[in-house]
Each structure stands twice: as C-alpha cells, then as structure tokens.
Amino acid sequence: MTGHFFFVLEKQNDPNFIAKRNAEVIVKYSTVYPFKLPEENMVCVYCCESFPQPAEFRAHMDEEHETFNPKMAFLHCSEGYIKVDCTNINCRLCFKNFQNLDEIADHLYSEHKKPLDLSVALGLQPFHLENNKLFCAICRAKALCLRQLSRHTQSHFWRYTCEACGKSYATNTALRSHIRFSHIGNEKICRKCKGTFSSVEEKRKHMLESQRCWSHLCCVCGERFISWHAKQLHLSECHGVEKKVTKSDVRRATERQNDDRIYNSLPLQAARIVNGVRILLR
C-alpha cells in the first residue's frame, strides 16, 4: 500500500502528468480545438470526421461539439502534447477573446481559479490556421502545407536527443522507445506495452490476444482494433461513420476496372462449364 502511495505521489509530481492536466483544463474551458493529423486533413478527435480546410473544422467544432468529454481528446495521445487549433480562442465561461495559449491559461487561473500549474508546460501544441495562410503560432515561420507546419511545430517541443543518431523527441519515453526499436532490434518487443518475448511466434501470439496492445483506437468509444480496416468497419456499423476510402482501395478498384475492360474487349469464342458454372471464354 505504501509503495502504491509513493507511485501515485511521484506521478502527480511528474511534469508530463501536470502538463497533461493543464491541457485538459484549457481544452475544457476554452475554444482551443484539439485535432489529429494522420495525413493531410484535420481529423476531429471526438467523431473522427475529416476536414481539408481549417475553417470547416472550426465550424464543425462550434456546431457539433458544443458539449464534449475533454478526456476523449487525449485517447490518441497517451504521452506528449496534443495539437490544438488556436485561431480563435475564447473563454467558455465569460466569452472573452485571447490571442494565445499563455493568455487564456493565465486568465483561467487568475480569473476563474481553475487548477492550472503555470510553472509547468501547458501540454498543448498551438496551431494558428487560416485558409491559405499557414504559419507557426510560436515563431511565425511560414509553411506550405499543414503537414509541414505540424513537423515544424513539433520541433519546438523536442527535449530529448538520442546520442547514437541525433534524433530528438518530445518525451523521454519516446526516446527510450526509439533506442529499443532503432538501435537494439524490435522483432521480439511489443511496441505498445514494451514486453519482450523469447521468439517471434510468442510476440505474434501476444499481439493477437492482447487487445490493449492493438494500435488502432476508435476515437468515439475508445475500443481498440488489430487492424485499420477492423476499426473502420466498427466506426461504420456502431457509430455511423462513413468508411474512408484509401489509396489502395482506389488502386484495386481501378485495376479491376481495367481487367474487366480488357476482358470485355476480347471477342467471344466459346463457353464451358466449371464446377457447375457456365464460364464465357474470350
């Protein structure tokens, strides 16, 4: 019992834990809108809907997520800082407008007495996003696309550097994971729970049986899936989210269409029966 108490106390004093708690408070009481960026489009953390334009994303947040569970915003990011759209920051309690995260954090702490620790990082990656005007919310550097801006913004939060190759990471855990998988070998290590196995077959069995280690997370209910397609099927059947079409889906469909077009262009020669089915031969 004593050991558990000290573990909890140590966690509560951890700067990363405090930063995440700060982030939850700011997301809950202001109009900083959390999002994911798996590819080129912004993805809502609450319903997984995708938006090519920042203005469309903000309109969606205003109209569809006036009420929300702020903890859902962090399910996809167990460690590190989540991305937030800070283009138009308002306090949800008094509706005052603010220019940046520092201003809204100071306001929530001093005016509304919210539990923020301003001596620690706020736990958020700020993005100032206007259509066709992308620049860093921290240093004002310009970017050509949202992905480029995301990579640049993340560089402001790199605090841990690998001595072996020079790569930098936002958290110590991310650095340790990089070292294990890049400089030691990963064939017998689970990337999620960091468990080690005596053989590749043992690791494969573990991945099939341990749902908590599945890497595909439903951002609506938090359930995990072993594959991207399984997650998309779940989103469609359980939450009514339309299945996304991937580049590989389009490629396979195009290949089938081309095969059918070539086949149909050939002259009809004969027909034969295969397993009780009449097959036309060209």
Domain ranges of the chain: 2-153
What confidence tens digit (pLDDT) does each residue in 29-55 have? Answer: 999 999 999 888 999 999 989 999 999
Q: What is the pTM of this model?
A: 0.60
Query: What is the distance between the alpha carbons of residues 280 and 269, in angstroms, rounded to a whole number?
Result: 8
Per-residue confidence at 162, pLDDT binned at 50, 70, 90? confident
Average pLDDT over residues 51-76: 91
Average pLDDT over residues 117-141: 90
Question: Angle 15-29/2-12 helices, nearest 10 degrees?
Answer: 60
Query: What is the distance between the alpha carbons of residues 98 and 90, in angstroms, rounded to a whole number?
Result: 6
Task: Tell me how crowded residue 154 is: count the other CB atoms within 10 A of its CB.
Answer: 16
What 8-state DSSP symbol labels residue 120? S
- For the chain, the first-to-last Cα distance in angstroms comes to 77
3-state secondary structure of 20: helix
Cβ-count burial 27-45 (b if 16+ within 10 Å, e if not): bbbbbbbbbbeeeebbbbb
Do residues 57 and 85 lie in contact, with contact meaning Cβ atoms separated by under 8 Å?
yes
What confidence tens digit (pLDDT) does each residue in 83-98 have? Answer: 999 999 999 999 999 9
130 compared with 58, residue with greater pLDDT: 58
Output phi, psi for 186, to 5 deg: -125, 10
Q: What angle do CA 168, 211, 224 make, to 5 degrees?
A: 70
Average pLDDT over residues 156-162: 77
3-state secondary structure of 161: strand
3-state secondary structure of 278: strand
Question: Angle 101-110/15-29 helices, nearest 10 degrees?
Answer: 90
Per-residue confidence at 257, pLDDT binned at 50, 70, 90? low
- Percent of the chain residues topping a pLDDT of 70: 75
Alpha helices in the chain (DSSP H): 2-12, 15-29, 54-64, 101-110, 146-155, 172-182, 200-209, 228-239, 247-265
Q: What is the pLDDT of residue 96?
A: 97
Least confident of 2-6, 114-118, 135-139: 2-6
Which residues, including other chains, have CB under 8 Å from residue 33's CB and lie 6 or more apart?
57, 58, 61, 84, 85
Query: What is the distance between the alpha carbons of residues 248 and 6, in angstroms, rounded to a whole number?
Result: 50
Smallest Cα–Cα separation from 46: which of 33, 30, 31? 33
